[in-house]
Amino acid sequence: MEKAYYDVDLPCIKVLRDMEDTGALVDIGVLENLSITFEKELEKYTAKIYELAGNEFNINSPKQLSFILFDKLGLATGKKTETGFSTDQEVLIELSAVHELPKMIIEYRELSKLKGTYVDPLLSMAKHGDGRIHTTYRLDVTATGRLSSSDPNLQNIPIRSAYGAKIRDAFIAPKGKKLISADYSQIELRILAHIGQDEVMIKSFEKGEDIHARTASEIYDLPIELVTLTQRREAKAINFGIMYGKTPFGLAKELGIPQSFASKMIKRYFERYSGVAKAREELIKQARMKGYAETFYGRKRYLPEISSKNMAARNFAERNAINSPMQGTAADILKIAMTRLWERLHKEHKDVNIILHVHDELVIETPENIANKVVEIVRSEMENAVELTPRLVVDVNIGDTWLAAH
């Protein structure tokens, strides 16, 4: 894996070191208010949960929660574990359709995790340090080559959650500066289109169309302007599900539709995007021949179960044979782009810093008076990091906080 090592990973070590040293500024006052607000919200959830349960119990105890849900309330039981019936997220989501308590538990857990994993630790770090959060980046953790972040892990703050968004809003630009958020638009789907050279998908990207609306248009045989929000949501689930080897059963469960309808949707998808279908088949075939999946840059993920007689193990390996080249290539591209951008900024604007790397997104701290110039540099270096057909496109925003920039 010399190419991945010398051309991708090794050059970005200096960038990661610089990002770790610089850190990201947070507003201590915002975090203090969040901690108090989250605590009050948790107290409200606790009271509501006790009311619905009919008595007090340890909400964080799976055993006690299992007793309340399945023995006391008599809700339908699901997966069995060593200590009783499961109370994991999947089970609670299913039970939420028939009772309010599981939904309250889900929301309580999310809020409790955000407070304990992010708000309070971030507040402690900021107070006892320089006011900046200095995460640690690792190149050697994930199977696909994605960077990981730890102490604290800044890559799992849920941006689509209202509570998660409030945490991102605590990351701020210093006085006289702005934050720039830059992320690749649909990079994994673009890589999939590139691998399969799928003409329909490539044309859609090159026209700047909403790819999920286009997919819905193809599946339902409708003009794109007549696609409904529900149809777009279903098409989006298929677009991303295809990369992860989602089955008709899995798609039906996610969308709440009959399995027969999900099968027809997937069949229609592959008829319309024939290049994608061929790419999937070829990726699995190559992984079976070689024993590993591979990114554009030669990063390998060994898949010893790809020829297993155990169907579940084999299917899991086949899904990774499809997903790893796309997710891994996307990760490699972002590392290359990050290195190119850092080197150019280091030469031309030493007062501009890359401060965060989160999946397909980079966050840059820049003096306000040159922010627009830096945006053009960011877009140029990221979009020209590698040649793809369809080409790479970067969404760039400027704001006073990480959330505002995103």
Nearest 10 degrees: Cα torsion 362, 363, 366, 369: 90
Class level of CATH domain 1-26+131-186+328-406: alpha beta
Residues carrying CATH 3.30.70.370, the chain: 1-26+131-186+328-406
**CATH number of 188-327, picked from 1.10.10.10, 2.60.120.200, 3.30.565.10, 1.10.150.20:** 1.10.150.20
DSSP code string of 237-283: HHHHHHHTT--HHHHHHHHT--HHHHHHHHHHHHHH-HHHHHHHHHH
The rounded average pLDDT for each run of 10 residues, N- to C-terminus, in the chain (406 residues) is: 95 97 97 97 97 95 91 78 76 90 95 94 94 94 92 85 91 98 95 94 95 93 94 92 82 88 92 92 95 96 95 93 94 97 96 94 97 97 95 96 92
Paired sense of beta strands 394-399 and 361-367, if any: unpaired
pLDDT of residue 86: 86
Cβ-proximal residues to 30 (8 Å cutoff; 6+ apart), any chain: 169, 170, 172
pLDDT of residue 406: 83
The domain defined by 29-130 folds into Taq DNA Polymerase; Chain T, domain 4 (1.20.1060)
For residue 102, the 8-state DSSP code is H
Residues carrying CATH 1.10.150.20, the chain: 188-327
pLDDT of residue 46: 97
pLDDT of residue 78: 62
For residue 378, the 8-state DSSP code is H
Residues carrying CATH 1.20.1060.10, the chain: 29-130
pLDDT of residue 79: 64
pLDDT of residue 353: 98
pLDDT of residue 156: 83
| Nearest of 92, 103, 149 to residue 122 by alpha carbon | 149
What is the C-alpha separation between 296 and 320, in angstroms, rounded?
Answer: 15
pLDDT of residue 310: 95
